[in-house]
């Protein structure tokens, strides 16, 4: 790999052991990937909040040792210096307010809190969300980034035209310390053209429709770059969030084009550039129905123990919509309604009175985490319902529960009545 003078100095330890370990990691990683060089980045989203398990594995050697081992893949503890790049914490394991509802022990709470404050002291912004693009980190077209979190990567690549691959914790941490990332994959213009044409013959209106379409597309194109033709309405952020998250769950989609909507494709021809589609898919009524059945395949019992809204983390508009559905009513005593959002949005929701409406209805507005990442559910949960194709893809597998997928209205109604009555309309 070709290195600049600056990069060579980092590799040789002139900026300390942590930067040296990070540069060593990036060089090894880049060489495996076939990258010829690194590229500068000043926008990194990673995950460096740890709990008691990691502390124990490092023999209580302190947070530098934990960061070295788990974020830099360095068994030798090095002193971690402040992050060079603008660095952001993605979603973590704990809601700092509702951690007891999560079932966390005091010991776990204290360890996670200590880890958070260690990150903050090293210059990592505590965004604590899987949707940094909702709360101030909005990269521009062509900006080289190093982000983890597949649903966020597919959003910023496709909708905003920023450039990132799905990084791992270690490569993102190394990018934070050095401001560098291997120049390969979606950093290169030639890899950003379409690979599959998807003819959308079915109207796509609601967030549920976009989740279904995303799940269908992801499963068939896997790591390809789908180009959607036939979209007749401009989707908003919430719909694109659901689409991308679903496509990145059933497959490994990191980039897509919707000609006329996403930033790098004014037309189908522009989306494909010099490439020809390797395959043409058609999404119609039959495909929509099959995808719906597939997403509901784990569900049998209609008594719903938990409704989860906010995967990816909910916007203020989604919170308002849930408020309108629950205002003046109460969540069923045998069910629970949890809404997840970034901590910055929770604060606005408090000021706007939305959090109070949810509390009055017996629902909970949570931030910083989600059940799939934090691996928690209300005690005894057997059946969940969610309006997120991504969440229903992962949660039944991770937590061994049944999962219903439906519209936000159906999900909220099932929390209020305790029973699932959703169907595909």
Residues in contact with ligand F3S by the rule CB under 6 A? 91, 130, 151, 245, 311-313, 340, 370, 372-373, 390-391, 394
Task: Catalogue the E-assigned strands of 8-60.
Answer: 38-40, 44-46
Q: How far is the CB of 255 from ligand F3S (least distance, A)?
A: 17
Least distance (Å) between residue 310 CB and ligand F3S: 6
Q: Which is nearer to ligand F3S, 183 or 394 (CB)?
A: 394
- Quick one: 25 or 49, whose CB is closer to ligand F3S? 49
**406: exposed, middle or buried (Cβ count in 10 Å: 0-12, 13-18, 19+):** buried
Q: Which two tokens stand for residue 218?
A: 């992801």
Tokens of 278: 């390797």
Minimal distance, residue 151 CB to ligand F3S, in Å:
4
**Do 169 and 72 contact (CB within 8 A), yes or no?**
no
Residue among 271 and 389 whose Cβ is closer to ligand F3S: 389
Nearer to ligand F3S, 346 or 390 (CB): 390
Strand, helix or coil at 59? coil
Q: Which is nearer to ligand F3S, 189 or 398 (CB)?
A: 398
Q: Closest Cα partner for 45 from 342, 300, 331, 347? A: 342
- Two structure tokens written together for 312: 């990816």
Is 18 within 8 Å of 81 (Cβ atoms)? yes
Chain centroid to CA 423: how far? 27
**What is the nearest approach in angstroms of ligand F3S to the Cβ of residue 21?**
27
**Please, which residue, 391 or 402, has the CB nearer to ligand F3S?**
391
Instruction: Provide the minimum distance between the beta carbon of 136 and ligand F3S in the complex, in angstroms, as a whole number.
Output: 17
295 close to 392: Cβ distance less than 8 angstroms: yes
Tell how strand 364-367 and strand 336-341 pair up. Answer: parallel
Smallest distance, ligand F3S to C-beta of residue 384, A: 12
């Amino acid at each position: 790999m070709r290195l600049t003078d600056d990069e060579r100095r980092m590799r040789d330890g002139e900026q300390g052991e942590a930067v040296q370990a990070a540069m060593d990691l990036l060089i090894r990683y880049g060489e495996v990937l076939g990258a010829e060089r690194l590229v500068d980045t000043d926008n990194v989203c990673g995950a460096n909040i740890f709990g008691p398990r990691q502390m124990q594995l490092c023999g209580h050697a302190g947070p530098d040792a934990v960061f070295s081992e788990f974020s830099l893949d360095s068994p030798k503890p090095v002193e971690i210096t402040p992050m060079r790049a603008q660095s952001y914490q993605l979603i973590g394991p704990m809601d700092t307010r509702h951690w007891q509802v999560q079932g966390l022990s005091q010991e776990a709470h204290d360890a996670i809190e200590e880890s958070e404050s260690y990150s903050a002291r090293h210059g990592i912004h505590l965004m604590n969300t899987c949707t940094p693009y909702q709360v101030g980190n909005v990269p521009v077209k062509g900006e080289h980034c190093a982000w983890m979190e597949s649903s966020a990567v597919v959003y910023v690549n496709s909708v905003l035209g920023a450039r990132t691959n799905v990084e791992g914790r270690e490569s993102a941490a190394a990018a934070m310390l050095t401001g560098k990332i291997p120049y390969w994959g979606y950093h290169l213009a030639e890899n950003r053209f379409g690979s599959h044409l998807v003819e959308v013959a079915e109207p796509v209106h609601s967030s549920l429709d976009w989740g279904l379409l995303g799940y269908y597309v992801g499963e068939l194109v896997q790591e390809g770059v789908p180009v959607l033709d036939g979209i007749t309405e401009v989707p908003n952020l919430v719909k694109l969030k659901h689409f991308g998250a679903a496509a990145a769950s059933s497959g490994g989609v990191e980039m897509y084009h919707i000609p006329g909507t996403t930033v790098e494709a004014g037309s189908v021809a522009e989306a494909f550039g010099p490439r020809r589609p390797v395959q043409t898919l058609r999404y119609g009524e039959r495909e929509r129905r099959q995808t719906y059945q597939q997403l509901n395949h784990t569900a049998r019992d209609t008594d719903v123990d938990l409704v989860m809204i906010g995967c990816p983390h909910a916007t203020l508009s989604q919170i308002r919509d849930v408020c309108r559905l629950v205002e003046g009513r109460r969540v069923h005593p045998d069910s629970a309604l949890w809404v997840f959002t970034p901590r910055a949005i929770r604060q606005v929701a408090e000021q706007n009175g939305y959090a109070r409406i949810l509390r009055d209805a017996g629902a909970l507005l949570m931030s910083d985490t989600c059940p799939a990442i934090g691996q928690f559910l209300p005690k005894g949960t057997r059946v969940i319902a969610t309006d997120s194709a991504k969440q229903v893809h992962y949660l039944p597998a991770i937590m061994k529960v049944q999962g219903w997928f439906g519209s936000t209205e159906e999900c909220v109604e099932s929390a209020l009545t305790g029973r699932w009555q959703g169907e595909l309309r």
